[in-house]
């Protein structure tokens, strides 16, 4: 069974191009690494580690590591990730749309393959996760 979780739409005071260019090369998010302690506080101690390279991001949350690898880049609009070594098969999209020349909006979506039993267990954590991710992306200085 496929379950889909979407964040609310976040407005970002930067152009669609700047947001896309920063997020499409994960090396550009080194600033997040510098703010790990404050991120850990905001995520109530759930975030334990964060590592990345150009095409992948590994997050360790409550003892579980999850690697997300970029599988598709649609210039200026969307970055698609696929979970590797994930407890459940999942995909993540970061969608970026222009609002004005200097403002964009962003939404994150997770689609996971889970059975009915698992869906009840993972729905809240995945919905919370997709929302926290969108909030974190909206807070980055582009």
Structural domain span for residue 75: 2-139
| pLDDT tens-digit series, residues 74-129 | 999 999 999 997 778 999 999 999 999 999 999 999 999 988 888 888 889 889 88
Structure tokens that stand for 46 in this block? 């759930």
Structure tokens that stand for 128 in this block? 């919370």
Classify burial at 30, counting beta carbons within 10 Å of its beta carbon; exposed 0-12, middle 13-18, buried 19 or more. exposed
The CATH number given to whatever domain includes residue 20 is 3.30.530.20
> CA 80, CA 94: separation in Å to the nearest integer?
7
> CA 41, CA 53: separation in Å to the nearest integer?
24
Q: What is the maximal distance between C-alpha atoms in the chain?
A: 45
| pLDDT tens-digit series, residues 2-49 | 999 999 999 999 999 999 999 999 988 776 666 555 655 555 556 677
Cα angle, residue 114 at apex, residues 109 and 115 outer, rounded to 5° = 145
Neighbouring-strand partners of residue 117: none
| pLDDT tens-digit series, residues 105-115 | 999 999 999 88
> CA 83, CA 139: separation in Å to the nearest integer?
24
pTM of the full structure = 0.85
Q: Into how many domains does the chain fold?
A: 1
């Amino acid at each position: 069974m496929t379950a889909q979780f979407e964040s609310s739409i976040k407005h970002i005071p930067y152009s669609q191009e700047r947001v896309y260019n920063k997020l499409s090369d994960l090396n550009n998010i080194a600033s997040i690494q510098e703010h790990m302690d404050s991120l850990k506080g905001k995520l109530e101690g759930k975030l334990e580690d964060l590592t990345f390279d150009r095409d992948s991001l590994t997050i360790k949350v409550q003892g579980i590591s999850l690697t997300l690898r970029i599988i598709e880049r649609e210039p200026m609009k969307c970055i698609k990730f696929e979970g590797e070594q994930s407890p459940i098969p999942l995909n993540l999209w970061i969608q970026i749309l222009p609002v004005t020349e200097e403002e964009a909006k962003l939404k994150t979506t997770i689609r996971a393959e889970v059975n009915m039993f698992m869906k009840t267990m993972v729905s809240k954590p995945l919905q919370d996760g997709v929302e926290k991710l969108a909030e974190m992306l909206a807070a980055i200085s582009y």
